Structure formats: C-alpha cells, structure tokens
Structure 1
Amino acid sequence: MTEEPLYDTVAAVTGASSGIGEAVARLLAARGARLVLGARRTDRLDRIAADLAPERVRTVATDVTRADDLVRLVSTAVDEFGRLDVLVNNAGVASLGPFADGDIEAWTAMIDVNLRGVLHGIAAAMPVFLRQGHGDFVTTVSTAGMKIVPEMGVYAATKNAVRTALEALRQESTDGVIRTTAISPGYVRTDLGAPGENVEPGSHMPAFAIAPEAVARAVAFALEQPRDVEIGELVIRPTVQN
C-alpha cells in the first residue's frame, strides 16, 4: 500500500482556530500530518486539538503581530516533533470601508496581521528550513489583490504586498531547498474580520461563497507534489464569482 504523501509531515498553521486555518489543520491531520496550531483564541484551538489525535497536535497562543510568538510556534514544532516541514501563514484580518473614513486603526491592524504577520513567520521558519535543507511556505493571499474594488483598497494592498514578497522569496530560493505557494481564495465562508470581532461564519459573505475545506484541499495539493515541483500560486474561488 502506498503511504499517504503527507504522513508524518510536520506543519505549523497560523490562524488555525477557525475558517481556512481550521480546515487546513483538520485535513492535514486526516492525512497523517503532525501539527502545531497557532491562534489568539486558544480555547478554540484546544477544542480542535481534542478532536484530532492529541499526541500528534500541539497548540500555541499566537499573535502573528508579535515576532516572538512565531518563533515560539516554530520552536514548538522542532522541540516536540524534531523538525518543521511546512509553515502555513494563514492568519488574516479584513476591515472594509472607503478611504474617506480615514480608519487608520483598521488599516494598521491589516498591515500588522496580513503583511507583518507573514514576514514574522518567514523570519522564524527560514533558519530551520535552511538548516534542514527543506521547507515549504504556504501563504493565504486573496483574489482581492487581483480584482481591485472600492472599499477593499487597504486589504487588497496588504495582500498584494504579500504576493510581491513571496515572488521575491521564490526567486531567492531556486536551489530547491524552499518552496513557496500563494493560495488566493475568493469568497469563502469564514469569520474573517477585524481583531477581536465576533462574526458568525459566512455572515458577511455572499450566498455563493465556498466552504473553507475547498481551500484546504488546495493547500494539500500543493504540499503533495514531489520536491522538484513547486506550485507557485493557486487561485480558488466560487465558479460564479466575477
């Protein structure tokens, strides 16, 4: 019998307490991966971990705006499982509105989480990946950066900044050690919102939004490729989305 390609893969996932992050964690666990789950809402993380194989899952309180939290997430994987194969940079926030609102607090939060949070993850995992001689960065971006629309300007700007950074990282990593994959979802039924907001999953999404499990399958697809194959970017959205 052929072994599942992701069996015993060690993956850390940020924003793992709900939505896409939770779906990725559950799918990777089902395929035999060992996991370190990070998020601010540790109560939710603990419930998810309890549903999975407890001996193969660790949870770490993680605020991606704090570089030390990402170092702790990565260190937990290495200390508990001996290595880190994949970092899924998934944590994100969105606060929509016109520039005329001048909502600097919301803009700053999106920059701190969506952009700095990804950079903190790269900085934390890179030394481990280089030391091991392999590692995958899988990052949740967005179709919002591909089709620019009113009231999503700052959110789209943060996502396009991440897309640019990942392309530069890809070009710096053509020795085969590091693979980078940008996953750009369209409308997905999640509770994505500003930090601290309590939003019902999918409540602000159109009825045609797809399930987060669809995005998780795209993540698994990228990771399952042979080491000499890199899926640089995947766009996944509802078939009826403009």
Structure 2
Amino acid sequence: MENIQDKVIIITGASSGIGMESARLLVANGAKVMLFARREEKLQQLTKELGEENCGYVTGDVRLPSQVEKLVQETIRRFKKVDVLFANAGIMPASSISELKLEEWNEMININIKGVLNSIASVLPKFIAQKKRACRCNKLDRR
C-alpha cells in the first residue's frame, strides 16, 4: 500500500466486515480514518483499538443525507480535509427472491444505492473545493 501516509479516509459501513478490516489496514499503513455506521458500540471499540489520534467516528445512517453531511463536516473539523470516500455500507438480504420481500429489497436499494449517492453528494463539494482530482485507486483495475 503506497502513498496513504496521513491521507484522511471516510469509511461507511465501518462497524464490521470489509469496512472494519479496511480501517485496520489503512491505519496500520499510516492513514487517518473516520468511521461511520449505525452501531455506536462497535465504532467505539474499533476507535479505541486503532487509537483516537488516527481514528474518529460518527454514528449514523447512509440513508439519511443530513447524517452523511454531519459525517463529512466532522471529518473536516477533526482532520482538516477528506482525501478518500470508501462508500462501503451495504446489506444483502438472505431471503429467497421467490419470497417477494419487497421491503427488504427497498432497504437494500436505499442503503446500497441511495446511501452511496448520499455519500458522494456530501463529499464531492469538499473534493472540488480542495481541488483534488478524482481517481480510481484500485490497483487491481488496470483498464
């Protein structure tokens, strides 16, 4: 992992799974992370593990634009900038499609799609103001 020393990275869905493990890896490689998820206890534990000098958290829900905006504002207040958005929050209902659980489908759309859009809408004006170029940071994607 290169060039992430002191980069400020927002991670949604940071209370478990890929979000949690990414936070650990990023901090271990010198990044500062701001965690975001609905489960405050998990965020508190991870922040304590990673060290408050490297990590902060905001409890909230990506479905609610005002809460994602609060996340971005708190990140800038705490770390003075945002370099990367890792819009990781997501769910995958485990029911069979034949069960026609429309409510589960709508929740998945609200979190997995609208949550990403809410996150982008909150952080993009900050990126533009910081005059940062958008880039694809996945080294596995060599197109």
Would you say same fold, with TM above 0.5? yes
Q: 1:232 to 1:113 in 2, by over 3 A?
A: farther
Structural RMSD (CA): 1.7
Q: Which has the higher contact order (CA 8 A, sep 6+)?
A: 2
Matched positions, count = 141
Name whichever structure is richer in helix by fraction.
2
1:110 alignment partner in structure 2: 108
Whether the 8 Å contact between 1:89 and 1:121 is mirrored in structure 2 is yes
1:145 alignment partner in structure 2: none
| TM-score normalised per structure 1 | 0.55
- After superposition, residues 1-242 of structure 1 pair within 5 angstroms as 5-134=3-132, 177-180=133-136, 222=138, 231=139, 233=141
| TM-score normalised per structure 2 | 0.92
Per-residue CA shift, 1:53-95, capped at 9, x if unaligned?
2122111002111111111111111111110000100011001
Q: Please state how far the C-alpha of 1:233 moved relative to its aligned partner.
A: 4.2
For residues 38 and 105 of structure 1, what CA distance do their matches in structure 2 show?
24
Per-residue CA shift, 1:2-41, capped at 9, x if unaligned?
xx62110000100101110000100110111111100000
1:228 alignment partner in structure 2: none
Please identify the structure whose Cα radius of gyration is greater: 1
Q: Please state how far the C-alpha of 1:232 moved relative to its aligned partner.
A: 8.3
Whether the 8 Å contact between 1:180 and 1:232 is mirrored in structure 2 is no
For residues 55 and 106 of structure 2, what CA distance do their matches in structure 1 show?
32
1:194 alignment partner in structure 2: none
Structure 2 unaligned spans of 5+:
none
